Structure 1
Amino acid sequence: MTLAVLGGSFNPVHNGHLSLARTVHSLLGYERVFLIPAASPPHKALSSGATPEQRLEMLRLAVAGEAWLEVDDCEIQRGGTSWTIETLRELTLRYSSSLEGKIGLVIGRDLASGFSQWREADLIPHFADIILAGRPGGDQNSAPEFPHRLLANDLVDASSSDIRSRIREKASWESLVPEAVYRYILDNALYQNS
């Protein structure tokens, strides 16, 4: 099995996340892609408005019907700060009998400049092939000094922070998330006061 992982707060998951996962699956040929929500991201504060369980449920709704796309809750189960190196170690051990090659670690190109500050950054390439994806508004021309592969992905103009802001301001946002996620957010009155 070839496996790629895409982490984040997914607060909420949106169409940009799903488009990126589909590109990793179709263009790079990874048999499975895991979306892994962080318990507590190390480099930014997690915005309020949804519990970890609600973020997980939105992810599960978003991936329904996609056999190759899965949600893994290892970081939420582990709790505390979500360190990428710990997740890579856990997944490598868990799938040691079936994993073909290294895990593909998908990160935004905008995060590449700070990669050396990540916990045990020098060990991450031992566990993962790093895949740099473009993000709207991000630096698309950086040349990181670590082994990586550039992904030619579509830049979907959607962000979780923008969606939360639109919900608070009662602006249009339904086209930015899957229908099931839209209904879930409405039904649970998420992000209205965050």
Structure 2
Amino acid sequence: MASGGAVRPVGLMGGTFDPIHLAHLVTAQAALEQFGLDRVVFVPAGRPPHKLDHAISPAEDRYNMVVLATQTNPSFEVSRVEIDREGPSFTVDTVEELRGRVPDDTTLYFITGTDAILGLDTWREPGRLVTLCQFVAAPRPGYPGRGAKDGLGRLEATYGCRFLDVDVPALDISSSDLRRRVSEGRTIKYLVPEPVEDYILSHGLYRPEPGV
């Protein structure tokens, strides 16, 4: 909380985090500083509705990796709200639940990739969601700039909201590439925090099944 009793906004960063990597952390820190956030709460997804047909790592492993990645930053927290909830993890339910845990006049900044926001029409109750939080769009390296800008403008007009941009250094790191690297026996050093790398290797995550 800021001096004088003013309530500072709180950042929310949801994701599968399979695994969490440095680009996630850099984006969260950039948003923390740019928007004067009190803290950023990382929310590992339980059962992402858009990935029900995809194999993802166990929720506890993904949660543990986020805890390890954020443990040295006092402005970062990790929530189990989706991990402990039964059924698919819909963002609108998560934001609504977390809103009930902060003062009424707290603004929630939902930090996610521009590519994810462009699919807002497919999310559950997008019209209500934009009234519960302020979206922050994080750039994705290589993602079409002009097309993304036009798409965001259309969504702003449709839902009567505004998407804020966060200024983030270009880091072309993706969880899918990291999983592939591990499966191929390649290093992920300097792409994830060292404790996360150690966890992945010691728990045998992302290695191909025997005989595959």
Change (3 A) 1:150 1:108: same
Structure 1 counterpart of 2:121: 116
Letter in structure 1 aligned against 2:130: P
Q: Given the alignment, which residue of 101, 111, 130 partners 1:94?
A: 101
Residues 52 and 109 (structure 1), Cα distance of their counterparts in 2 relative to 1, 3 Å cut: same
Give the counterpart of 2:42 among 25, 29, 35: 35
* Residue 138 of structure 1 pairs with residue 143 of structure 2: yes
| Aligned partner of 1:150 among 153, 160, 165 | 165
Matched with 1:53 is: 60
Q: Distance in 2 between matches of 1:69 and 1:80?
A: 26
Change (3 A) 1:173 1:133: same
1:3-42 equivalences under 5 Å are 3-42=10-49
Moved more, 175-184 or 142-151: 142-151
Q: What is the letter of the counterpart of residue 127 of structure 2?
A: D
Q: What is the CA–CA distance in structure 2 between the aligned matches of 1:134 and 1:13, rounded to whole Å?
A: 17
Structure of higher CA gyration radius: 2
C-alpha distance in structure 2 between counterparts of 1:61 and 1:114, whole Å: 30
Length, aligned pairs only: 191
Deviations 1:61-115 (A, max 9, x none): 10112111011110111132111100111011121x3x54320011211123221
Match among 5, 9, 25 for residue 2 of structure 1? 9
Q: Structure 2: 5+ residue runs without aligned partners?
A: 1-7, 157-161
Segments of 5+ residues of structure 1 without an aligned counterpart are none
The DSSP-based 3-state class of the residue aligned with 2:127 is: helix
- Do structure 1's residue 126 and structure 2's residue 131 form an aligned pair? yes
Identity value in percent: 32
- Structure-2 residue corresponding to 1:107: 112
Q: In structure 1, what is the equivalent of residue 204 of structure 2?
A: 189
Distance (whole Å) between structure 2 residues aligned to residue 79 and residue 53 of structure 1 = 14
- CA-based RMSD of the aligned residues comes to 1.5
Cα distance 1:190–1:182, how it changes in 2: closer, same or farther (>3 A)? same
1:140 to partner: Cα distance:
3.2
Match of 2:159 in 1: none
CA distance in structure 2 between the partners assigned to 1:87 and 1:151 by the alignment: 22
Query: 1:136 & 1:42 partners in 2: Cα distance?
Result: 25
Kindly report structure 1 stretches of 4+ aligned residues shifted beyond 4 Å: none
Equivalent residue number for residue 187 of structure 2: 172
Q: CA-to-partner distance for each residue in 1:20-68, whole Å, 9 max, x for gaps?
A: 11101112211110111111112234433x3111111111110112111
